Amino acid sequence: MGWSMPRGVLISCIVVLVALALIPVTESRYLIDITTEIMVYALFALSLNVIIGFSGNVSFGHAAYFAIGGYVNAILLTTYEMPLIISFPLAVVASGLAAAFVAYFCTRLTDIYFAMLTLAFAMLVWAIAFKWRSVTGGDDGFVGVHVPAFLDDRVPFFYFTLIIVAVSIGILWMICHSAFGQTLIAVRENLTRAGFIGVNTRLMRGAAFVVAGTFAGIAGAIFAMYNRGVYTESAFWTESAQVLIMTLLGGMYSFFGPAIGAAALYLLERFANEYTQYWPTVLGVILLVIVLVLPEGLVGLAKRIKARLAGGS
């Protein structure tokens, strides 16, 4: 096969997978729900990192593809009464196609112009969801999603999410460590030089955008069923900002960093909301800390501590 994952990472993955699989044994509804949501956000953040950490562009509109996955899955399941086995893949394909359409335009640009255009397209998606009331439910949201009976209960849904997310992350890991993934890093590292080794950098950045949008669509499709609804907020720029912060908090230069960032930010928000109404303030402080002292996120911090300990002993 040729795939090689560092032993420590492989062991950590297995431990996390086993721990997750055992969560329902606790029979804590709270724990099961939190974990389900974290898994979805972890996939969402990892998908965004294909654009940020690998292709070296910043997307301010990644929520659009999450929302499209959610809406399409919800509408096909409910309005058209399609089975999940059809609605889910179609939702994912729709997200990927939308990402391809946007990528066609965005990849003409780089840096801040790229980011602004992704934001503009995401606001367009939000506006469509908001205005197209007959299909999306507008600002009331698309509620009462028909979730297949076998996923009606919390525990089967948890395992459904676990399997889909784990397989998706596995595929993402392969893509990111493939010949494609390594070339993408070269594009991030040095756009000009990448062109001079014969790489069509625009096409590479576009492909990364499509991969990212596709996997965000998977996360969104799951989330729509979990919530039994999709709301316009899921496409709003604040949602894009949140997943961006998750990615940066975890660390964009590490594959699993964004998943750790997603869990950390999600839990922080949960706890902060129990003690204060000022979550946005807390979020602001977190952002400041990331930018000023943790440019490589929590994973970067862990590496530095490890290096310090190794050097000190």
Partner 1 sequence: MAVLETKGLTKDFGGFVAINNVTFSLEKGEKHAIIGPNGAGKTTFFNLITGHLEPSAGTVTFEDKTITGMPPHQIVRLGLARSFQRINIFPRMTVYQNIQTSLIARDHKHFSLFAPAAAQNLQETAELLELVGLDTEATEIAGELSYGKQKQLELAISLAENPSVLLLDEPTAGMSPQETKEAIALVDEIAKTRGLTLLFTEHDMSVVFGIADRISVLHHGELIASGLPDEMRNNPEVRRVYLGEGDDAAA
Other CB atoms within a 10 A radius of the CB of residue 137 amount to 21
CA quadruple 282, 222, 209, 198: dihedral positive or negative? Answer: positive
50, 272, 278 from 201: Cα distances, Å: 15, 42, 43
Could you say which of 179, 292, 309, 310 contacts partner 1 (CB under 8 A)? 179
Task: Considering only the stretches 62-70, 169-177, 244-252, 284-292, report the one whose residues sit in contact with partner 1 under the rule CB under 8 A.
Answer: 169-177
The reply on whether position 311 binds partner 1 by CB under 8 A is: no
The reply on whether position 130 binds partner 1 by CB under 8 A is: no
Could you say which of 79, 178, 276, 281 contacts partner 1 (CB under 8 A)? 178
Q: How far is the CB of 215 from partner 1 (least distance, A)?
A: 12
Binding-residue pattern over the window 205 to 244 for partner 1, x denoting contact by CB under 8 A: --x---x---------------------------------
Cα–Cα distance between 184 and 181 in angstroms, integer?
Answer: 5
- Is the CB of 134 or the CB of 192 nearer to partner 1? 192
Contact at 8 Å (CB) between 141 and 231?
yes
- Virtual CA dihedral for 237, 242, 245, 247, nearest 10 degrees? -100
302 CA to centre of own chain = 22
Task: Considering only the stretches 11-19, 68-76, 192-200, 258-266, report the one whose residues sit in contact with partner 1 under the rule CB under 8 A.
Answer: 192-200
Other CB atoms within a 10 A radius of the CB of residue 146 amount to 17
The reply on whether position 253 binds partner 1 by CB under 8 A is: yes
Task: Considering only the stretches 30-38, 172-180, 236-244, 259-267, report the one whose residues sit in contact with partner 1 under the rule CB under 8 A.
Answer: 172-180
Q: How far is the CB of 81 from partner 1 (least distance, A)?
A: 34
Segment 3 to 42, residues that bind partner 1, using CB under 8 A: 3-4
Q: If binding means CB under 8 A, how many residues of this protein chain bind partner 1?
A: 32
- Is the CB of 112 or the CB of 174 nearer to partner 1? 174
Contact at 8 Å (CB) between 220 and 67?
yes
At 260 the three-state DSSP class reads helix
Could you say which of 100, 175, 241, 268 contacts partner 1 (CB under 8 A)? 175
Cα–Cα distance between 82 and 71 in angstroms, integer?
Answer: 14
Other CB atoms within a 10 A radius of the CB of residue 202 amount to 18
Residue numbers at the binding site for partner 1 (CB under 8 A)? 1-4, 174-175, 177-183, 185-186, 189-190, 192-201, 203-204, 207, 211, 253
